[in-house]
Amino acid sequence: MKNLLLIFILTMFAGNLFGQDSEPTENKFQNTIRYNISNPAIFGIKNIIFGYERVLKKNRSFSIDIGLNQLPGFNSEGNNSQNESLVLLRGGKNRGVHFSADYRFYLKSENKFDAPRGVYIGPYYSFNSFDKSKNWQLTSDNFEGEVGTELGFRIHTIGAELGYQFQLSKRFMLDFVLFGPGVGIYKSKVDFDSTLDPDDQALVLQKINDLLSEKIPGFNTIVDGSGFENTGIANVTGLGYRFMINVGYRF
């Protein structure tokens, strides 16, 4: 979060320094390719998302984003008591995909430049898919050995956004989606590769909930108020949100 705050402060300063003092000029570049710099800052460098924006009219544009993402990593720490132990093992699968699209209205009343510069609003849709597998060493009164878990998330979000795009130079841009509330449809799944006693199952699920809660703000709210309580599929409708910082190149 500190890295994200630093990026935001530096880019706001750069945008005011380079982007707002020049006079309006003819918009010769209708296309922008961009790279999302906020996701790696929050979730890690393996989150790679690229985007494309096309100006459709003087004050309107359409954009898409596509890429790879993954859930934050877990720390390999044990959860021990007098009679039981659960230790997270190294390795495992962690992958996912991202797709989103929006339609932007650059506000004439707020902007002295044509699109894609200045304040914009508009609807958006996003889809995120995450799959994570981990292995655990479990020792209890009823089980001793290795247990594998499979986590899966599918998130569809529809909402509205408010953003601002700076022009740093003739071709380079900084794009901020600052506020993007929406409605999210969440499908989550967790499975074990071993049959466990209900108490042992609850122990593993609680550890997964604790680790995800540490890494994902609002996780327990997303997964039906209390996180994973049992295996299988859960479908939840709740609040969604969109926030991005992109650096772009116009052509």
What pLDDT, in 10s, does the model give residues 159-193?
999 999 999 999 999 999 999 999 989 888 888 88
User: How far is it, in rounded angstroms, from Cα 195 to Cα 112?
Assistant: 64
Averaged pLDDT, 147-169? 93
Closest CA to 197 of 109, 84, 42: 84
Secondary structure letter of residue 212 according to DSSP: H
User: How far apart (Å, rounded) are the C-alpha atoms in residues 118 and 58?
Assistant: 13
Higher pLDDT, 89 or 220: 89
Cα(31)–Cα(54) distance, integer angstroms = 5
Q: Are 123 and 158 in contact (CB under 8 A)?
A: yes
Residues 6 or more apart in contact with residue 15 via CB below 8 angstroms: 166, 167, 168, 174
Helical spans, DSSP H, in the chain? 2-18, 38-43, 198-215, 219-222
Q: Is the confidence at residue 148, as pLDDT, over 80?
A: yes
68-127: per-residue pLDDT in tens? Answer: 998 877 765 544 544 568 888 888 899 999 999 999 999 988 888 899 999 999 999 999
Q: Which tops the pLDDT comparison, 202 or 160?
A: 160
pLDDT band at residue 18, thresholds of 50, 70 and 90? very low
Provide the mean pLDDT of the chain. Answer: 82
pLDDT score at 138: 92
Kindly give, in sequence order, each residue whose CB lies less than 8 Å from that of residue 230, ignoring residues fewer than 6 positions away. 201, 205
Burial grade of 129 (CB within 10 A; 0-12, 13-18, 19 or more): middle
User: What mean pLDDT comes out for the span 200-227?
Assistant: 73
Of the candidate ranges 1-15, 38-52, 94-108, 166-180, the one whose mean pLDDT is the lowest: 1-15
Share of the chain above pLDDT 90, in %: 45
Instruction: State residue 17's pLDDT score.
Output: 42
pLDDT at 13: 42
Q: Is the pLDDT of residue 140 over 80?
A: yes
| Per-residue H/E/C for 3-17 | HHHHHHHHHHHHHHH
Residue type present at position 194: S
Q: Is the peptide bond before 116 cis (omega within 30 degrees of 0)?
A: yes
Beta strand 78-80 with 85-88 is antiparallel
Confidence band (pLDDT; 50, 70, 90) for 217? Answer: low
Instruction: Kindly report the backbone phi and psi dihedral angles of residue 2, in degrees, each rounded to the nearest multiple of 5, phi listed first.
Output: -65, -40
Q: Provide φ and ψ at 211, rounded to 5°.
A: -65, -40
